Amino acid sequence: MSPRRVLTADDYFDGVRGQNVSMLARAFTLVESSSQRHIPIAEELLTRLMPFTGGGLRIGITGAPGAGKSTFIEALGLLLVAKGLRVAVLAVDPSSGVTGGSILGDKTRMAKLAAEDNAFIRPSPSAGTLGGVANKTREIMLVAEAAGYDVILVETVGVGQSETMVAEMTDCFLALMLPGAGDELQGIKRGLLELVDVIAVNKADGANRKPALLAAQQYHNALDSISGHASDAAPAILTCSALHQEGVDDVWDAITKRCESSKQSKKFEHRRRQQNLRWLWSIVEDRLRQTLHTHPGVQEICDDVESRVLVGEMPPAAGARQLFAALKLDHE
């Protein structure tokens, strides 16, 4: 049996641009890889794909467990496919503590959408990343755009981590809420209200219809009193039932109106430029941390420094200075 040929950046590039689903999945895996053997190829691929990126609409979707994120995303994805759009779903799953892999299996939770030719679902383990966003979600979005996907939906874990990260990589940030807003309003974060562009109270059907309308009104009142939004920048607040596909089109209309308004005021491109800048420094900080932990000089003194800080013999600032000196970065 002949050995499997090692794929080159040309192979990945042609596969992505040619909308080859199998090669697209392999390109995603390449970009997500932390292997030193894969990183140069992934960087070359992304550099070559950059001229073909930026055309997709990037939508972040968050919400507490039980809010119906997967059901909503499938309903929205099916609606968009019916409109002739190509949809990529980056569904970030909680990571398995044993294997580090995804544990929820979004393709099984979105079976109808997964069967559509113009939809692609990519479950990715969050691996403990803050915000419930996988480490390479930004890169995966670029690859999806270069493959011709019109809408990129990013589903977060939604288990209480900082949601700033998803807002900093998308064009519109949607929060799914549940009917019966009383308890949730008590715990709603001012920071979340400042980040979201659209709030949708899901499961507004049957006996939940009236509680959902009440919850929407309470969110309106809460925004008026604590959000500090200008009237034209306040999040749109709607109700919907993803299970019965009611009101999902209204939520999509609210998303597109927000994005169009942002483009007309030039905020859209400014937001993306600022996201790229934050992305740059996020990568720098991540690689600096990796370098610090793997540097031989740092490893040689790390245990001693940690032990002395642990028992109170050395201030943490002095310990940090010693570690950076070992890394040859402290020039003072």
Q: Do 46 and 61 reside in the same domain of the chain?
A: no
Q: What is the pLDDT of residues 125-177, one digit of tens each?
A: 544 443 334 568 889 999 999 999 999 999 886 544 547 778 888 999 999 98
Q: Do 121 and 251 reside in the same domain of the chain?
A: yes
Q: Indicate whether 98 pLDDT > 50.
A: no
User: Residue 294: its pLDDT value, please?
Assistant: 85
Q: Do 75 and 130 reside in the same domain of the chain?
A: yes
Whole-number percent of the chain with pLDDT over 70 = 80
Residue 133 lies in a domain: yes
Rounded Cα distance between 156 and 159, Å, is: 9
Q: Give the other-Cβ count within 10 Å of 27's Cβ.
A: 29
**Mean pLDDT over the full length of the chain:** 83
Q: What is the pTM of this model?
A: 0.82
Final residue before a domain boundary, out of 265, 296, 313: 265
Q: Kindly state the DSSP code that residue 59 receives in the 8-state scheme.
A: E
Residue 271 lies in a domain: no
DSSP alpha helix (H) spans, 149-226: 164-167, 181-187, 190-195, 209-222
Q: What is the pLDDT of residues 227-267, one digit of tens each?
A: 554 455 788 999 999 999 999 999 999 999 999 998 888 88
Residue 273 lies in a domain: no
The domain spanning residue 171 has which CATH number?
A: 3.40.50.300
Q: Do 290 and 216 reside in the same domain of the chain?
A: no
Residue 305 lies in a domain: yes
**Total count of domains within the chain:** 3
Q: Do 222 and 313 reside in the same domain of the chain?
A: no
Q: Do 121 and 131 reside in the same domain of the chain?
A: yes
Q: Do 290 and 200 reside in the same domain of the chain?
A: no
Rounded Cα distance between 38 and 41, Å, is: 5
Q: Do 188 and 252 reside in the same domain of the chain?
A: yes
CA-CA-CA-CA dihedral for 107, 109, 114, 115, to nearest 10:
120
Q: Where does the chain show beta strands of DSSP type E?
A: 57-63, 87-93, 119-125, 151-155, 172-177, 198-201, 236-239
Final residue before a domain boundary, out of 217, 233, 265: 265
User: Residue 253: its pLDDT value, please?
Assistant: 97
Rounded Cα distance between 266 and 271, Å, is: 9
Final residue before a domain boundary, out of 265, 291, 316: 265
Residue 272 lies in a domain: no
Q: Do 208 and 286 reside in the same domain of the chain?
A: no
Domain span holding position 293: 278-326
Residue 304 lies in a domain: yes
Q: What is the pLDDT of residues 276-324, one digit of tens each?
A: 888 888 888 888 888 888 889 888 999 999 999 999 999 999 999 999 8
Q: What is the pLDDT of residues 205-233, one digit of tens each?
A: 999 999 999 988 888 887 776 655 445 57
Residue 332 lies in a domain: no
Q: Do 91 and 112 reside in the same domain of the chain?
A: yes
Residue 7 lies in a domain: yes
Q: Indicate whether 194 pLDDT > 60.
A: yes
Q: Do 112 and 22 reside in the same domain of the chain?
A: no
Q: Do 155 and 291 reside in the same domain of the chain?
A: no
The domain spanning residue 20 has which CATH number?
A: 1.20.5.170
Range 260-275 average pLDDT: 89
Distances (CA, A) of 194 to 61, 250, 299: 15, 22, 42
